[in-house]
Amino acid sequence: MKWKIGAVLVVTGLCLAWVLHGIEWPELLGALEQADLLMVLPVFGVYLLNHCIRSVRLRLLLNRPDIPFREMFSITTVGFLAINVVPLRLGEFVRPYLLKERQQVDFGQSLAAIVVERLVDLVCLMVLLLMVGLFVDIPETGLIIQGVDVVRVGQQVFGVSIAAGLVFLVALVAIGEPVIRLVVRLIPVPAVAEKIGGFLGSFHTGLVGLLKRPVHGALILLMSAAMWTGIVGSTWLVLFAFEGLPTTFGAALTTWTLTITGMTLVPTPGFFGSYEAFCVAALGLWSVDRSVATAFAGTLHLTQFGFIVGLGVVFLLIEGINLKDVVTRSREELS
């Protein structure tokens, strides 16, 4: 585990070094001084609205209308704090753990709901990448960052992930128990196989239940579209706060899409380094001064990260939760 964390930190450092290399610090500080930061304030309202939608969406995926909104909002807030500050995406298991401990939701069922949640978000991201490819002038050589064509690789990785996920989901729904038994037989460790078999059983039950609720499915898609539109809109607002940046909706769409693609492909702790690297590279399509682009990227990132961490810490204190203990116990659920 330690070497994995070390490797992630090395990647984070390399991304930050790439971003900061050649930066003219007086120009960067000047860009921040000249920025109209009042334009940034409304984005916190967008983040709060998205967080509310995210909480309601998970409740719909679980089909647990009995869980109070305030409770779901609290669990979502602490869960996303963990996702952003715990390396190796281990924070993903905090929401299922808290749902089990506080609302008696089966751990496997919660994991299933979150897998579907992530798959829906991948579909939304794939749509954004297709929109960027169709409506934005990308250089013929592609958008190359550290030798990687972000748009092409992102489309390929997400396309394969979505296709594989959909094939597995269709097989699980159509065939059911035989698919679960096959997966269990392929796992060499009996204890792990038994655990995963239980998760898949809960996953199957939850997925079949969701398919029997087409109205809920439609609402989940609409909520997801609203969330992604909101985050692109907030990126657009912050673009207006800085001089020398493109202020078209297409620029906002491209900047956020390429940034989130990079964050997904290179998930550093708090997304520091990867966020700034891909955001700066995206703005390079408009020949934006590197110092100004870095000032924008840092501001946008800190608003998002600060909102999640600030709200998460508030709910940790309100609920009396020890984040380290919760992360440890959530990992134990998998063992």
Are the C-beta atoms of 196 and 184 separated by less than 8 Å? yes
DSSP 91: G
DSSP string, 29-69: HHHHHHS-GGGTTHHHHHHHHHHHHHHHHHHHHHT-TTS-H
How confident is the model over 278-286, as a mean pLDDT?
87
Give the per-residue pLDDT at 28.
66
Average pLDDT over residues 186-205: 74
pLDDT, the chain, mean: 82
Q: How far apart are CA 21 and CA 203, in angstroms?
A: 46
| pLDDT tens track for 129-185 | 888 877 676 665 556 665 666 666 766 777 777 778 778 878 877 887 888 888 788
The answer to whether 323 and 316 are in contact (CB under 8 A) is yes
Residue 295 pLDDT exceeds 60: yes
Element spanning 267, H or E:
none
Q: Note the pLDDT of residue 1.
A: 46
Confidence of residue 334 (pLDDT cuts 50, 70, 90): low
